[in-house]
Amino acid sequence: MNAIISASDLASDLTGANPPVLLDVRWQLTAAKASGEPPYDGRAAYEAGHLPGAVFVDLDRELASAPGEGGRHPLPDLARFGAAMRRAGVSSGRPVVVYDGGQGWAAARAWWLLSWTGHPDVRVLDGGLPAWEGPLEKTVPTPAEGDFVPEPGADGLLDADAAAELARSGVLLDARVGERYRGEVEPIDPVAGHIPGAVSAPTTENVGADGCFLPAGELRARFKGLGVAEDARVGVYCGSGVSAAHEVLALAVAGIPAELYVGSWSEWSSDPDRPVAVGPDPR
């Protein structure tokens, strides 16, 4: 099953016999302390207009635990995550489509979490809300309680040690912008640079000007150029496990399974004993 869905296909599915549950996961990374700008309010954006029947999901509160030693967006408590999904109407026997404001990062985080914890049918709206040409509504729905109970997957998740090993034995992709990878700037985390052996692979290069994913063939060619061989084990990290989920999604579109280091650079860089590489070369 494809991990993404076009706006036209979603419109068709919503009129079918088993329409998908819609989750609105609007969120943006903001360095409010440094910029002085107020943090982005995804709920306010949702209440101003959302896909009909969509339920808002708060990334910081429902798709992650509080920041700490595990990074800025560590895994959520699965009991709390499951309760939030059931309140949103998520059931194992009903498809789910997640979307955000168009960047795709937050929607991909929801997609990854639901998939990793066992939901069999989750897709991301390709291009997010800007791709949707149908009506929007302001009514906040009260869906029937779902029955989804998350169970952690046996694979697909990396910790810091596993990420370091994968950088040596497989392919570890760094989904952040090149300047952060090279250590030229670091606006959020305490240390600049990258995990030794990781390959720079900005997730922004997986989408076109319209915000939609590149065709699967182009994505496969891109990842091949980054060293992803046909039988390679692949992992991805970013700043806090959000944009990296978008790269895992891009790899899925390309037909390439990949693992996510959820703690990512925010966890890695918090330990002064972990090595840091700078510059354009992986090591």
**Residues 157-206 pLDDT 10s:** 999 999 999 999 999 999 999 999 999 999 999 999 999 999 999 999 99
User: Does 192 fall in a domain?
Assistant: yes
At 260, which amino acid appears?
L
User: Does 138 fall in a domain?
Assistant: no
Banded model confidence at residue 231, pLDDT cuts 50, 70, 90:
confident
What pLDDT does residue 230 have?
85
Q: Enumerate the H helices of the chain as residue ranges.
A: 7-13, 32-35, 42-48, 59-62, 78-87, 105-116, 160-169, 178-182, 216-225, 243-253, 264-268
pLDDT (average), residues 88-103: 97
Calpha distance 17→19 (Å, rounded): 6
| 168 and 102 fall within a common domain | no
Calpha distance 240→31 (Å, rounded): 13
Instruction: Count up the domains in the chain and report the number.
Output: 2
Taken as a whole, the chain contains a residue count of 283
Question: In terms of pLDDT, which residue wins out, 64 or 230?
Answer: 64
Handedness of CA 236, 91, 79, 27 (dihedral sign): positive
Is the pLDDT confidence value at 106 over 90?
Answer: yes
What pLDDT does residue 28 have?
87
In the sheet where 122-125 sits, what is the strand order? Answer: 4-5, 122-125, 96-99, 21-24, 55-56
What's the whole-number average pLDDT of the chain?
95
> What CATH number is attached to the domain comprising 99?
3.40.250.10
| 82 and 161 fall within a common domain | no
Cβ proximity of 111 and 20 under 8 Å: no
46-50 long-range Cβ contacts below 8 angstroms, 24+ apart? 47/138, 47/140, 48/138, 49/136, 49/137, 49/138, 50/24, 50/129, 50/136, 50/137, 50/138
Is the pLDDT confidence value at 33 over 50?
Answer: no
* Residue 93, token pair as written in the block: 């026997």
pLDDT (average), residues 254-267: 98
User: Does 152 fall in a domain?
Assistant: no
Banded model confidence at residue 37, pLDDT cuts 50, 70, 90:
low
pLDDT (average), residues 19-31: 89
| 14 and 81 fall within a common domain | yes
Banded model confidence at residue 32, pLDDT cuts 50, 70, 90:
very low
User: Does 137 fall in a domain?
Assistant: no
Cβ proximity of 131 and 7 under 8 Å: yes
**Positions marked active-site:** 238
Q: Determine what percent of the chain is predicted with pLDDT higher than 70.
A: 97
Is the pLDDT confidence value at 34 over 60?
Answer: no
Banded model confidence at residue 40, pLDDT cuts 50, 70, 90:
confident
User: Does 256 fall in a domain?
Assistant: yes
User: Does 209 fall in a domain?
Assistant: yes
User: Does 145 fall in a domain?
Assistant: no
What pLDDT does residue 210 have?
94
Cβ proximity of 205 and 222 under 8 Å: yes
Question: In terms of pLDDT, which residue wins out, 37 or 167?
Answer: 167
Calpha distance 94→7 (Å, rounded): 18
Calpha distance 107→26 (Å, rounded): 8
Which residues, including other chains, have CB under 8 Å from residue 169's CB and lie 6 or more apart? Answer: 233
Calpha distance 19→11 (Å, rounded): 10
The domain of 195 spans 157-268
